[in-house]
Structure 1
């Protein structure tokens, strides 16, 4: 099969096309023909050598969707022809954390492109437990994003923050790969979204996604958030940038 390797850290020209053997699925694996593979910011950091512990000489990509073309001997839950998306981490599925739905805490956790082969290839081998069926009406490109930017946003807004209809949710870095999904999810949950962007030209785009209030800021936005919420602050905040955390905390209401 053809695959794109990260030859060495650096610019995009370090990504080279190679012909390698197609992976053979183990008894608990499935072989997936890749239809779509996302390019995550995580991949850009890896390529640039800015991801601690991540090696060169690997196939990048952990956002992947495709069709199962072969199943291992022990696989009973999936069949050839199933359309699937790959969970963005590999996990055991049998430990206490996996069984309580916290696969992200599994001690056997591994990451495609770092511990195993990635998705920039014609085929990828996935543990069957990490391959999740997708509905027929969901196109492959959208499905590839299900477990990384969309799944991350869902866990934060629903599982952790418990956003309810009527809540006010602050989202900074709103036009980025995480922010655009957070806006849509929060809006679907019935929240009023305050989106922060550094660009005037992105205002209409963010409003079209569902943001009720869009603030253009150079990073000092807490005063404007307090004014927009009648000095109540927001109920939930999504901090996507890191360096803006003090401003985000100042934007939040009591509790």
Structure 2
């Protein structure tokens, strides 16, 4: 099978296309013919060496495709089932797994292998794709859609009618988080570094769009009649963005971090936190229940995934566009498409 392999850390050119043996599923695993695999900041961090993983490696965790073989003990999926994966597999037997809190599973393991024509995946990480949902859309449901849903609903406990500020709103995570926040009944403010994305963000539900900069906090306060945002969903973790967004957080607001652009740490004076009675917290991944609800939002048309598709052989171009922030929505590799371009 063909696969995009990371043999060394570095820039986009660290990726090479290679022929590998098709893997075989073990106990509790299925073999999936990959139809689509999304690309996100985690893949960039793995590729660049910001995260340490054994090499060589086939990256890719936002996977959707069709089951072509099952291993011993697989009971939930049959050959021919269309499936999508969340970001990690679990044991499925421990207390946290039984209680629906599998993020705490001691055997939780991050998924890899989606940048290939076939991938072996644990059945614990998979859900069937609803009828009518394109596999390229299903591939990004757990990460691009589920991350925002998990952060807003479970961590921030957002209520209908509240105001949510989404940072990095023009990116693959932020654009879908805007839609999720709208689906939850909130008024959404979008913070973006690219003013050219204003109309698209309004199209996807943002009530007000603010461009990042030293006075962004004032624009956010103006848009909320001086009150500020009840919830900030920060997809960037960038110090300059944090300074503006936290300053525009309402009293007793909740500030939820879901991502980090670059390696510079955020600094905050404790006095600013207790003066606001603010909560600063994080949301790291997606529960299976959240993943199921994210797929439902897509199936119902309440969230419209926006993908930019690349053939597997164009993985270097895809990473280059990601690094240079040229991607509209989420970059998705399509193993079965022809090289030489994307749509």
Q: Structure 2 CA distance, aligned partners of 1:225 and 1:197?
A: 12
Counterpart of 2:148 in structure 1 is 153
Counterpart of 2:80 in structure 1 is 81
Change in CA separation of 1:220 and 1:120 when aligned onto 2, cut-off 3 Å? same
Stretch of structure 1 that moved more, 58-67 or 182-191:
182-191
Counterpart of 1:207 in structure 2 is 202
Q: Structure 2 CA distance, aligned partners of 1:12 and 1:250?
A: 36
**1:2-33 CA distance string (max 9 Å, x none):** 22211211232221222222111112111111
**Per the alignment, in what secondary structure is the counterpart of residue 38 of structure 1?**
strand
Q: Structure 2 CA distance, aligned partners of 1:11 and 1:178?
A: 22
Stretch of structure 1 that moved more, 1-10 or 172-181:
1-10
CA shift, 1:200, in A, is 2.0
**1:207-233 CA distance string (max 9 Å, x none):** 111000111222542222112111111
Q: Structure 2 CA distance, aligned partners of 1:200 and 1:162?
A: 30
User: TM-score, length-normalised on structure 1?
Assistant: 0.93
Residues 49-198 of structure 1 mapped to structure 2, 5 A cutoff: 49-51=49-51, 53-113=52-112, 118-198=113-193
Aligned: 1:9 with 2:9: yes
CA shift, 1:253, in A, is 1.6
Q: How many residues align?
A: 250
Gaps of 5+ in 2: 253-343
Q: Structure 2 CA distance, aligned partners of 1:134 and 1:181?
A: 18
Q: Which runs of 4+ in 1 moved over 4 A?
A: none
User: TM-score, length-normalised on structure 2?
Assistant: 0.70
Q: What is the root-mean-square deviation of aligned Cα atoms in Å?
A: 1.5
Of 209, 226, 234, the residue aligned with 2:221 is 226
CA shift, 1:156, in A, is 0.7
Of 233, 248, 259, the residue aligned with 1:251 is 248
Stretch of structure 1 that moved more, 240-249 or 66-75:
240-249
Counterpart of 2:24 in structure 1 is 24
Change in CA separation of 1:231 and 1:127 when aligned onto 2, cut-off 3 Å? same
Gaps of 5+ in 1: none
**Per the alignment, in what secondary structure is the counterpart of residue 254 of structure 1?**
strand
Kept in 2, the 8 Å contact 1:198–1:219? The answer is: no
Q: Structure 2 CA distance, aligned partners of 1:177 and 1:108?
A: 29
